[in-house]
Structures are given as structure tokens and as C-alpha cells.
Amino acid sequence: MTQEELDALMDGGIDDLDEEIEENNPAKENDETETKETVSTESENSEKIDPANNSGIYPPPATEEHQVVSQLDEVTKDSEEKASEILDIMDEISNAMLENEEDSNTVLKTLEEQKALFEKLSNKFPNIEVFKEQLAKSEEAITLINKNLENAQGAGDNIMMAMDIMQFQDIHRQKIERVINIMRELLQYMNRIFEGKIDDSKRVASAKHLHGDNTEDLVDGEDDLDALISQFAGGKSE
């Protein structure tokens, strides 16, 4: 506190001191202005919420496209069918690769026999180049067959892994079915809780207008009430 502020306080100039403090502290006014603007913005945003809009906390209309259990049933059914089709295709691929592996082993056996023959001929007749050439070709063919066999075995292993992974899809389907069953049981439980002994067709209709409703059709005031009673009494006297 400065000497001027202290003198003003001692002289009783509190109002002047407050005005001076406010002038020296414009941040307070800015904070109050920002607070008012924030409150005003929040109020405007809250007024923009449309109850008719099916977003936020408002549920969607009870139409066929929003039937949750029905859609989940379709998902589980389609998922099971597609998974079965994929497994059948992968099984056919696996069987075809096993057949190709067996055929490759047969070809490999023949090539090994040819290699052994050309080795003997090449050793016995070293000056004949054709034996050496056929021996080299047999060795090259054997190398290619062995490589194809390795690739086929690796592909077969990958197919088996993929089929094992597809089993998780069935587990997911079972989880969805469990959710569906829980939802159906909950619905049946709620129906039993709210079940009444009086048939709905025999119930008294709900009042369209109650005191406190914001509508022009309310019976309000003693004059209107007296007129209603008089009208009712006159109707009975007739």
C-alpha cells in the first residue's frame, strides 16, 4: 500500500480508494467480462439442443432399422455363414496343396534316378558332353523341386494357422449371442416387473390436461370452475 492510499484510508476516502484500486486492476474487469461471455455462450449452446433430433441423450425412433436384437441376429447369422464358406475354401486349398506335394515328391524321385544314371554315364564316358549337360539339368531340376516343396509346406502351415485364427470368429459370434440372450432375458424381466392385473384396454384413459400444464385448455379460475359446475348441473336437470 502506497502512502497516498494510506492517507486516503485515514481521511475516510474509501470510495476514492476503491475506484483507484479498480482502475489499477483492469484484470478483474476482464475476468468478469470473460465469465459473462462464457455463461452466455453456454446458454446459447444449450438453447440450440433440439429435442426432436435423434442425437445425444435422445434415443432413435423405434423403427425396424433400429431394432438392435434383430440386427445382432443378422450379424451372427451372416458371420457364421461367411466363416463357414471361408473355412471350406481354405480346406480345398489345403487339400490341393497336399496333392501337389505328393506329385512333386514323385517327380523328385524320378529326377534323382535320372541324376544317378547320368552320373554313371558321365563317369564312364567323360568325353561325351551330352551326359554332363543332362546331369547338370537334372541337378537344377532337383533344386527347383525341393524349393517348391518347401514353399508348399510353408503355405500349408500358413493355411492351418489361418484356420486356427478363424476359430476366434466363432468365439466372437458366441459372445454376441450371449449379449442377445442377456438383452432378451432383461426385456422379459422388465415385462414381468411392470406387468399389471388390469388389461390395458380396460384402463381409464390418462388425463390430457393437468393443473400446472402449459396449455390454454386448462380449467383455471373460480369463474371457469363455477361455469363448468353450472353446465353440468343444468345438463342433469334436463
Please list the ranges in the chain whose pLDDT falls under 50: 13-14, 17, 27-28, 39, 42-49, 51-52, 54, 235-238
Contact 145, 52 (CB under 8 A): no
Residue 93 CB contacts under 8 Å (≥ 6 apart), including other chains: 159
Residue 99 sits at the vertex; the CA angle it makes with 98 and 104, to the nearest 5 degrees, is 95
pLDDT at 48: 46
pLDDT for 106 equals: 92
Q: Which three cell numbers stand for residue 44?
A: 446459447
- pLDDT value for 165: 85
Per-residue model confidence as pLDDT tens digits over 176-233: 889 999 999 998 999 889 888 888 788 777 666 667 667 655 555 556 656 666 665 5
Residue with cell 512333386: 104
DSSP string spanning 62-106? SSGGG-HHHHHHHHHHHHHHHHHHHHHHHHHHHHHHHHHHHHHHH
Q: How many CA atoms lie within 13 A of 116 on its CB side?
A: 5
pLDDT, residue 140, reads 93
